[in-house]
A and B are shown apart, each in its own frame.
Chain A
Amino acid sequence: MSSSFKSRLPEILKKHQPELVKEWGVAQATRLSKQGAISPEELREQSAEFLKRLAKAVETDSTGQIDGAAFDPVKEHLASVSRGRTLQGFTSSETASFVFSLKRPLFNQINKELGSASSEIAQEILAIGDLIDALGLFTVEAYQKTREEVILRQGQELLELSTPVVKLWDGVLALPLIGTLDSARTQVVMESLLQKIVETGADVAIIDITGVPTVDTLVAQHLLKTVTAARLMGADCIISGIRPQIAQTIVHLGVELGDIITKASLADAFKVAIQRAGLAVVKVAAKKAN
């Protein structure tokens, strides 16, 4: 692009905005698979706003780069549109097509405007192509960023959701573990268990590992840490839900569980906990007979 070249884009954008919005709207509608997820009015509004901000930006900043401060409002709008599309469940290419589908209507307008001056048209199209590409890439980046945020949030929610501490009886807590135990999760599990022990004043905590798919030395070590921490606070731990395969693995790995009580099922562990508390579960009929 020669430095003497003066793009007529600002002028075209200003002059033909209504036509552009209309043509662009049609172009976008054909590219979107999820018809109805965005209403035509909303689409028109987003398009008009984008064109308005773009016109202002290219007027003040004619370098053809989108890094300048003049493009901040444009980028801001694009980011918000992109975020909206992400959350509505559009794919990345559908989101990017918001910007890319502007190319054809713009070229049409330029053709109409410049008519015969073919060399100027070529330059104009190149410049606009670059600009639209840059904006399109920015949109995809924003899309990706929103997706990453969503994934991060989901990961955190999963971490919190997957470690509930439930109260089975007065002084008896249960911690049903589901999924693999890594260091980060162990930390969360340990903290929530110990906190709950303080809150409820529980004497016994049952850690149920039915939902833990594999137990290797690291997982066993994490379990032992949790049990030891609970013991330091004055609560006993019972590990329950040990499947036959897991028992085999533990022995093969040579993991030493020490004097920790282990039970095959949560029910067995609960029985032990109840006995510790000096209670018993009896049948109603037997009680009446007495």
Chain B
Amino acid sequence: MERIPILRMGDLLLVTIQVDMHDRLALTLQDDLTQAICTHVARGVLIDISSLEMVDSFIGRMLANISSMARILDAVTVVVGMQPAVAITLVELGMSLDGVRTALNVEKGMALLRGSLDLEPREEEEDAAD
């Protein structure tokens, strides 16, 4: 069965969507990703959708769902590389993906992830010091 690979990089998980998403593929990805976050105790997830040229409301909702699920599992999700056409489509569909972090490209997404993750250990250290 077709699957979207999930790569592990230290605390982070990398997902690059290179094919057109269909509904079953999206559900499989949802399963695999939540599984992977639990197994690897990942702190951050980066989803690159720069090759994705078509979206529908289902895929839009799936992106929002994945982000919410990851948050419950204590991981930050960043969606990067959304194409202008995709952004316009999602807005026209009325999906603003509130709560999903976005970045322009993988590099900026990584910086965003590192930035938001670096802050949390420090807070823990401060808590420990108290």
Q: Which residues from chain A sit less than 8 Å from chain B, CB to CB?
A: 187, 190-191, 194-195, 197-198, 201-203, 225, 228-235
Contact B82 A232 (CB under 8 A): yes
Q: Which B residues are in CB contact (< 8 Å) with A232?
A: 79, 82, 86-87, 90-91, 96-97, 102
- The residue in chain A whose Cβ has the minimal distance to the Cβ of B50 is A198
Q: Which residues from chain B sit less than 8 Å from chain A, CB to CB?
A: 79-80, 82-84, 86-88, 90-92, 96-97, 102-105, 108-109
Nearest 7 A/B pairs, CB to CB = A194-B84, A234-B103, A234-B102, A234-B104, A229-B87, A232-B87, A229-B91
Cross-interface CB contact of B87 among A201, A202, A203, A233, cutoff 8 Å? A233
Contact A233 B82 (CB under 8 A): yes
Q: Which A residues are in CB contact (< 8 Å) with B103?
A: 234
CA gap between A210 and B96 in the complex, in Å: 26
- The residue in chain B whose Cβ has the minimal distance to the Cβ of A197 is B104
List 29 contacting pairs A-B, 8 Å CB cutoff, sorted by A: A190-B88, A191-B84, A191-B88, A194-B87, A197-B84, A197-B104, A198-B84, A198-B104, A201-B104, A202-B104, A203-B108, A225-B92, A229-B84, A229-B87, A229-B90, A231-B96, A232-B79, A232-B82, A232-B86, A232-B91, A232-B96, A233-B82, A233-B83, A233-B84, A233-B104, A234-B103, A234-B104, A234-B105, A234-B108
Q: How far is the CB of A267 from chain B (nearest CB, A)?
A: 25
Q: Which B residues are in CB contact (< 8 Å) with A198?
A: 83-84, 104
Among A190, A203, A228, A234, residue most surrounded by chain B Cβ atoms (within 10 Å):
A234
Q: Which B residues are in CB contact (< 8 Å) with A233?
A: 82-84, 87, 102, 104
CA gap between A22 and B61 in the complex, in Å: 78
11 more A-B contacts (CB under 8 A) besides A197-B104, A198-B84, A232-B82? A191-B84, A198-B104, A201-B104, A202-B104, A228-B91, A229-B84, A232-B86, A232-B87, A232-B90, A233-B87, A233-B104
Q: Which B residues are in CB contact (< 8 Å) with A195?
A: 84
CA gap between A208 and B65 in the complex, in Å: 34
CA gap between A194 and B105 in the complex, in Å: 14
CA gap between A201 and B108 in the complex, in Å: 9
Contact A225 B91 (CB under 8 A): yes
Contact A234 B82 (CB under 8 A): yes
CA gap between A231 and B104 in the complex, in Å: 9
CA gap between A211 and B83 in the complex, in Å: 29
CA gap between A234 and B108 in the complex, in Å: 9
CA gap between A167 and B103 in the complex, in Å: 19
CA gap between A187 and B97 in the complex, in Å: 20
CA gap between A220 and B82 in the complex, in Å: 24
Cross-interface CB contact of A234 among B92, B96, B109, cutoff 8 Å? B109
- The residue in chain B whose Cβ has the minimal distance to the Cβ of A193 is B84
Cross-interface CB contact of B102 among A190, A225, A231, cutoff 8 Å? A231
- The residue in chain A whose Cβ has the minimal distance to the Cβ of B60 is A232
Contact A228 B104 (CB under 8 A): no
CA gap between A211 and B109 in the complex, in Å: 34
Contact A194 B104 (CB under 8 A): no
Contact B104 A230 (CB under 8 A): no
Given A233-B104, A234-B104, residue A228 in contact with residue B96 (CB < 8 A): yes
CA gap between A197 and B82 in the complex, in Å: 11
Q: How far is the CB of A209 from chain B (nearest CB, A)?
A: 18
- The residue in chain A whose Cβ has the minimal distance to the Cβ of B104 is A234
- The residue in chain B whose Cβ has the minimal distance to the Cβ of A190 is B88
- The residue in chain A whose Cβ has the minimal distance to the Cβ of B102 is A234
CA gap between A231 and B82 in the complex, in Å: 10
- The residue in chain A whose Cβ has the minimal distance to the Cβ of B107 is A201
Contact A229 B88 (CB under 8 A): yes
Contact A235 B104 (CB under 8 A): yes
